[in-house]
Amino acid sequence: MTEYEKLLSNANDNDVTVYDDYNLKGTRIKGLYCDGTVAISNDLRTQKEKACVLAEELGHFYTSTGNILDMSDTSNRKQELRARLWAYNKQIGLRGLIDCYKANCKSIHEMAEYLDVTEEFLLEAIECYRSKYGVYAKLDNYFIGFIPTLYIIEEYRQATD
């Protein structure tokens, strides 16, 4: 099952209707969520692109309330960021970055392929994590660094007798 199919299943399980071939031409909008319905632009060509957009729109389902289209409102911008963070964590997360390290991914392209997301989505997620965590985050015995660039270091633990 692809990541897109998993997200469609998640939507279905939560009674969210998804239209993945919606005409949003003439706009920069790739997807919209409103009252239990997601519309995904028919300009998106790959399931990978659709999955990234669907993840964010499901993030709105889980984290947003009301009409947040007016981005001049601080509260709306915060809800938009919460929905994006939900999507980044769902599709990537710190665990996903560690999994890329374990799989010997050497570039953003390899990481995006491994995680089944677009490079743009991955780079935005890393920037979001950099804003959230600062210099680094620690998960289990791994340090995930964000400054000056992404790096992952496994903590060495000496065996005790």
Q: How many CB atoms lie within 10 A of CB 74?
A: 8
Q: Which residues contact 100 (CB under 8 A, 6 or more apart)?
A: 110, 111, 114, 115, 152
10-residue stretch averages of pLDDT, the chain, 161 residues long: 94 96 83 93 93 96 84 85 96 98 96 97 97 96 95 84 61
pLDDT of residue 161: 61
- The gap from C-alpha 21 to its chain's centroid, in whole angstroms, comes to 21
User: What is d(CA 148, CA 146) in angstroms, rounded to the nearest whole number?
Assistant: 6
Domains of the chain: 1-91 (1.10.10.2910), 93-161 (no CATH)
Q: What's this model's pTM, rounded to 2 decimal places?
A: 0.90
Instruction: Please tell me the predicted confidence (pLDDT) of residue 121.
Output: 97
pLDDT for the residue numbered 27: 74
pLDDT given for residue 73 in this prediction = 79
User: Measured between alpha carbons, how far is 7 from 3 in angstroms, rounded to an integer?
Assistant: 6
Kindly state the tokens that stand for 127: 């920037």
pLDDT value at position 49? 95
pLDDT of residue 72: 80
Cβ neighbours of residue 140 under 8 Å, at least 6 residues apart? Answer: 98
What type of residue sits at position 7? L
